[in-house]
Amino acid sequence: MASSYTTNFAIEKMATGDQSGTWGTTTNHNFDILDRIASYKSVAITTNADTHTLTVREASPGSGTENLQDGMYRVIKFTGALDSNCTVTIAPNSASALFIFINATTDSGSSGPYSLIFTQGSGANVTVVNGKSAVVYADGAGSGAAVINALDKPLFGTISATADTAAGDSASMGYTASEGLILTGQGSTNDVTIKNDADADVITIATGGTSVDIVGDVTAATVQADGDTSAGDNAAMGYTAAEGLILTGQGSTNDITIKNDADADVITIATGATNVDIVGSVTAATVNADGDTSAGDNAAMGYTAAEGLILTGQGSTNDVTIKNDADADVLEIPTGTTNVTVAGQFNGGTIILAETDTDTSNTGSVTIDFSAHQNFVLTLTGNVTLANPSTESVGQAGVFVFIQDGTGSRTLSLGTDYESPAGGGITLSTAASAVDVVPYFVKASGSIQLGAPQLAFS
């Protein structure tokens, strides 16, 4: 009866009575195989080869040294110069075996060093990058055979690293006496990612970056910044000895926003601006303004040594409005004007109101703006009707000065809000360039009382 061979390493099993006189030689060959199973070998890959075959045993084993193959060794260091990644096929695809592979190849091209890709069939492969080692096993499953990383998900009590990591490491843990524990990675998005049990990112270090992104909240007794921030920081906290704590941000609307627990804005600094917007009230013993205000300020309080306290505003109706506790207007400065409207009464002191409207061309319907002026000097270039106004204030008083143009004989008619002595209207002088003065007093809204005209001043 002929000898048979074991499936994986082709150890020869002699049949009863077989190999008379050569039994010892066959046994020695088997011992050679067993010796290799527990040993190391350096295997050279042909220069610039894209493929290499690692034979565990021949497809049809035979007696003798022909059955001693490189793939029988457990620890194999691959050498040789490569110009591309090389695929190493473990043969035959029916042999199952455990290996420790070391990629010690060198670079003969310009883009290396290169990886070794271990395969056995159409199943999974294992890639060992240059300079690294891996513990793998080939499952010998035939055409669908796979090569599997035996340490893909290892369970260890303690792992002690004793050497530094290197740039380009895909994922490495190292140690040096000065740096302590070192975690090094290299990925297309992040170099290092720490995840929770739900596979969600917790801490990331972007590829090639030195910034640490913490996805959730940081809970600590004290967070101490020890460096300055930079322009363009999305959100940064820094510190310098001169400036102290520094908060820097960059947003499309605001650079910095401080919110309350209800997610409502409390303090904002608009993007690219130096103004601070406080949404609520400011409670302080003293608020000191130390700079002037500017045109277009919505609401600003400023100070200069010459002008003292400055209040500046810009609104569609009033530029400045002072209200009482009942939200009623007390004092108004209409938008774009220098007039002051006081809703109540002035008590004490001396009040001087002397804003005069001098209009050198008046004809037809004329509407007086009592909110802008107290006195009115009107040159009549045609017959004039004083239309009913809407801007008068109760208690307002002043004079109209009517001047005839070079033609003269211009007449004055009155809207219903204007009241004259005995309801007789106002008759002006008719001479060219004649000057007449008519006093007025606002008794009530829609009731402007005109005094008797003083005619023909000269």
50-66 pLDDT, tens digit per residue, is: 999 999 988 777 766 66
| Whole-number pLDDT of residue 349 | 52
Give the model's pLDDT for residue 301. 86
pLDDT > 90 fraction of the chain, expressed in percent and rounded = 61
Dist CA 296 CA 413 (whole Å): 41
Q: Of 11-25, 81-95, 189-203, 226-240, which range is least confident? A: 11-25
Burial class of residue 120 in the structure, from the number of CB atoms within 10 Å of its CB (0-12 exposed, 13-18 middle, 19+ buried) = buried
Which band of pLDDT confidence, cut at 50, 70 and 90, is reported for residue 112? confident
Return d(Cα 198, Cα 429) in angstroms, integer. 97
Rounded to two decimals, the pTM is 0.51
Task: Give the 3-state secondary structure percentages of the chain, helix then strand then coil, rounded to 5.
Answer: 5, 40, 55
The whole-number pLDDT of residue 354 equals 57
Is residue 128 a contact partner of residue 134, using CB atoms and an 8 Å limit? yes
> Cα–Cα distance between 57 and 64 in angstroms, integer?
12
- Cβ burial 137-176 (10 Å sphere, 16+ → b, else e): bbbbeeeebbbbbeeeeeeeeeeeeeeebeeebeebebee
State how far the Cα of 201 lies from the Cα of 204, in Å rounded to an integer: 7
Closest CA to 392 of 449, 347, 354, 350: 449
What is the average pLDDT across 375-394? 96
pLDDT value at residue 211: 86
CA angle 336, 415, 381 (to 5 degrees): 75
What does the pLDDT look like over 255-276, one tens digit per residue? 999 999 999 999 999 999 988 9
pLDDT of residue 77: 98
Neighbours of 293 (CB within 10 A): 18
pLDDT score, position 63: 64
Q: What percent of the chain has pLDDT over 70?
A: 96
| pLDDT score at 35 | 84
Q: Is the pLDDT of residue 164 over 70?
A: yes
| pLDDT category of residue 425 using cuts at 50, 70 and 90 | very high
pLDDT average, residue stretch 387-412: 95
How does residue 351 score in pLDDT terms, banded at 50, 70 and 90?
Answer: low
SS3 assignment, position 26: helix
Instruction: Give me 146's structure tokens.
Output: 């796979």
